[in-house]
Structure 1
Amino acid sequence: MKPIYYIIPLINFFVAALFGLLLRSMFVYPIEGVTFLYILHTHSHIALLGWLYLLVYVLFVQKFAVDSIKETKFYTRLFWVTQLSVMGMALTFPFMGYAAPSIAFSTLHIICSYVFVIYLWKHNNVIGTQQGILLKTSLFFMTFSTLGVWCLGPAVGMMGKASAFYQICIQFFLHFQFDGWFLTAFLALLFATVFKGYSLAKFTSFYYAWITSVLLTYALPLSWYIEFPIFHYLNALGVLLQFYAVGYLIKPIYGLFKQESNCIGKSMCLLAILALFCFIMRIGTQLLTISETITIQLQTLRSWIIGFIHLNMLGVLTAFGLWLMIREQKLIVNTWTKSGIGILILGFVLTEGILLLQGLQGFMSVNWISDTPMLLFWTSVLLPMSILCFLLSYFKNKRL
């Protein structure tokens, strides 16, 4: 696909980062007439559906769609309708939160995603059984995750927004979006780009371990709302299976880096290392939740929950997504790109460090640094700055 279709998701990412910065500013510089919850919904929807979803969309079309004029027209039109829904959410959520217009645009996005799944499922040019299985599994999880959204209406009608059922529906959507749809989608892209022409030994063992881990780790958010001790152990088993599954990828990934060490470049290496390190951190954090006591304490520490979400969104998914864009030459490495990568990593490390510090202070009931909200706001400025650098890299090369 043309560069513009990669620029649009980056613009959405930039807008999401600005809304995130606005959220951080409200703890330091309160703004009258701005509803925190509305801005939070805007930030999360644009980041998830405008940045990550559309990035996977264009990468999937680039790698798996049938290359013909008819197919190109179809995916182009669907892209812009999907982007229209993202723009609609960006213009309605900040002012009214969940209301008829914002819900309509959110519903339009889901319908577009269904059309995308059905069409790509039927018409693709997948080379190799392993790529095909991972592609269709990721598409299945994307569709499966939306069951949580459709259950929100009945949940509100029967038990209200404060009910455990309502929260379980939200967590269902988020879990199978992150762990099922996005992570499996990036695995499919990994096989299609990095492992091109390579068949993973014992793929069946890897695949079933991965799928089982995705299902079992949903026990963690369930444990937040349903008191059932076995959920903690099911989650722990799921995390171990996830670690076991990733173990199958270490050898081929190491071989890739060894083979291409002279041409990968330091910038790509930094993004790959960040994604891998954050994924290991993610697994380690999830293993801590085997203890019911620790899980209850973690639930009360909002900064650690936000830190964990950003560990996934920025550390794992965004870093790997940008790495793929560079590797596929959809983001050219130049001065602006290198600056963007450096600023992104610096901003991510600093904000995660401050969130960790905030949580530790709450956990230990101490106050080492009293002005952490101010520090968090100013370090968060680095994140939209980094995305702006990526956007400027396109204009420098005139690749619109």
Structure 2
Amino acid sequence: MKNIIFWLRFSVLNFFMVSVLGVLMRYKIAFSLPMVDQKHVQEAHSHFAFYGWITQIIYVLIIRYLQGILSEEQLKKYNVLLIVNAVSAYIMIPSFIYKGYYWLSIAGSTAALLTSFVFFFFLLRDLKGKRNLIKSWFLGGLFFAVISSAGVFMLSYMMMSDNVTQTLYLASTYYYLHFQYNGFFIFSCIGFLLLSLRNIGAEISEKDTKLIFWLLFFGTLIGYGLSVLWMKLPLWIFIAIVLATIAQTIGAVKLYMVVKQNWTKVVLSFSALQRFVLMYVGFAFFAKIMLQLGSNIPVLSQFAFGFRNVVIAYLHLILLMCVSVFLLNQILATNVFKMTKPVITGLKLLLLGIFLNEAVLGIMGVLSIKYVAVPFSAEILLAVSLLMMFSLLLIFFSLKKKSL
């Protein structure tokens, strides 16, 4: 697709827009901004982060992967889907900030959600019969994106019927979030990782790839139960959830071993900064897996879901430190942009900002057990958000296309 460079740059702009909304939220917490409704900004922030930034760049990178498989004519329909998703995402920002959930914001989010259905259908049809080990990760990810919609439809039904029960509301919300970030986002990222390894000549057996895929797939499918452990579940369901978590852990360890076995090729092909980013993301993914494993312990699970700071820290760990950093690095690793000093500086500052953000949220989460407040936490988090916003702005304006 000829305009792939535009979409890559556009995705970085979208990441910057997510950070702007984050700064707005943090400013309102630290200082007064009466004209803005915090809940509405939060809804705009979360929806745009999911659809405008993460989903959009996953689509772009999947289309780039398809360039070597499908013809330009076949790729045209995917370009239309990129436009529909982008327009839908940008409708969400002003509409959610203005009034929260109402017909325009619901129309925007529904259009983006339905786009994932069509993208999945097209990909399933176009890759049918093509022997490719990577495709299962993208199809698996989009499968989770599609089934996550059940949570959204349940929430919409409850709001329309004006029959909202707290238990079902939380269960539906966590259902959607779980299959988005543990399913769609993580599976897509693993697909891009394995594709990057394959492109540098790494040796990954078909047996290992399939085993890792199915361990993580069924682990994610059943692992939704971790999000609803606060409900009274029968013993056999709890045992199934524990086994699913163990399966995910084994799959993650096997994925780590694949990277470790090919580390010599990674060193020869990736820059020192790229290798550092891979370890940075790997650490976040490892922390996610360990926290999942630990959340099978009822006391830890109650703590995790009982404190807002802990939930926010966990979501940021996955969405920011793991997924977003990895996807931004994938944009830079496409080798279509010059890795100039400002781009490298911007990336380093962003990594620092995200680490500080996670550290502060983590400390706040741990101290909240004893109901101890971190002094000036709102101001510190605002400063960290500004650091992330300016680092993304620096990266965006410094992206220069490589001369052919």
What's the TM-score, normalizing by structure 1? 0.92
The number of residues matched between the two structures is 396
| Greater displacement, 167-176 / 259-268 | 259-268
Q: Does 1:212 align with 2:218?
A: yes
1:104-159 CA-to-partner distances (Å, cap 9, x unmatched) read 11111122222211112111399644223223222211211112112223333567
- Counterpart of 1:365, as a letter, is Y
Distance in 1, matches of 2:281 and 2:293, equals 19
Amino acid at match of 1:24: R
Could you tell me which of 307, 331, 336 is aligned with 1:325?
Answer: 331
Match in the other structure for 2:140: 137
Q: Call closer, same or farther: CA 1:87–1:301 in 2, change over 3 Å.
A: same
Distance 2:310 2:238 in 1: 19
Query: Is the CA contact (8 Å cut-off) linking 1:64 and 1:124 kept in structure 2?
Result: no
Give the 3 Å change call, closer, same or farther, for CA 377–253 of structure 1 in structure 2. Answer: same
Q: Which moved more, 1:68-77 or 1:193-202?
A: 193-202
Residue 159 of structure 1 contacts residue 165 of structure 1 at CA under 8 Å; is this kept in 2? no
- State the shift of 1:302 in Å: 1.3
Structure 2 counterparts to residues 346-385 of structure 1, below 5 A: 346-367=352-373, 369-385=374-390
Find the aligned partners of 1:19 and 1:333 in 2 and give their Cα distance. Answer: 27
Cα distance per residue 1:234-274 (max 9 Å; x no partner): 44433321121122223331243312414411221121111
1:244 aligns with 2:243: no
Who is 2:116 aligned against?
113
Would the alpha carbon gap of residues 383 and 154 (structure 1) be closer, same or farther in structure 2, given more than 3 Å must change? same
- In 1, distance between residues paired with 2:138 and 2:355? 32
| 1:230-379 map, 5 Å | 230=235, 233-367=239-373, 369-379=374-384
- The match for 1:55 is 57
Q: Report runs of 4+ in structure 1 exceeding 6 Å deviation.
A: none
- String of CA shifts for 1:16-52, please: whole Å, max 9, x gaps: 1111111111121110121111000000011111111
Distance 1:392 1:147 in 2: 39
| d(CA) in 2 for partners of 1:157, 1:373 | 35
Out of 19, 28, 31, the residue aligned to residue 33 of structure 2 is 31
The corresponding residue for 1:18 is: 20
Aligned residue for 2:198, secondary structure, equals: coil
Gaps of 5+ in 2: none
Q: Distance in 2 between matches of 1:148 and 1:345?
A: 32
* Comparing 286-295 and 341-350, the one that deviates more: 286-295
CA drift at 1:69: 3.2
**Which position in structure 2 is the counterpart of 1:228?**
233
Task: Name the stretch that deviates more: 306-315 or 325-334.
Answer: 325-334
- Determine if contact 1:156/1:166 at 8 Å carries over to the other structure: no
Q: TM-score, normalised by structure 2?
A: 0.91
Q: Deviations over 1:85-104 (max 9, x none)?
A: 01111120101100001001
CA-based RMSD of the aligned residues comes to 2.2
Q: Kindly indicate whether the alpha-carbon contact (under 8 Å) linking 2:220 and 2:244 is maintained by their aligned counterparts in 1.
A: yes
Alpha-carbon distance in 1 for matches of 2:375, 2:239: 37
Aligned-partner residue type, residue 364 of structure 1: K
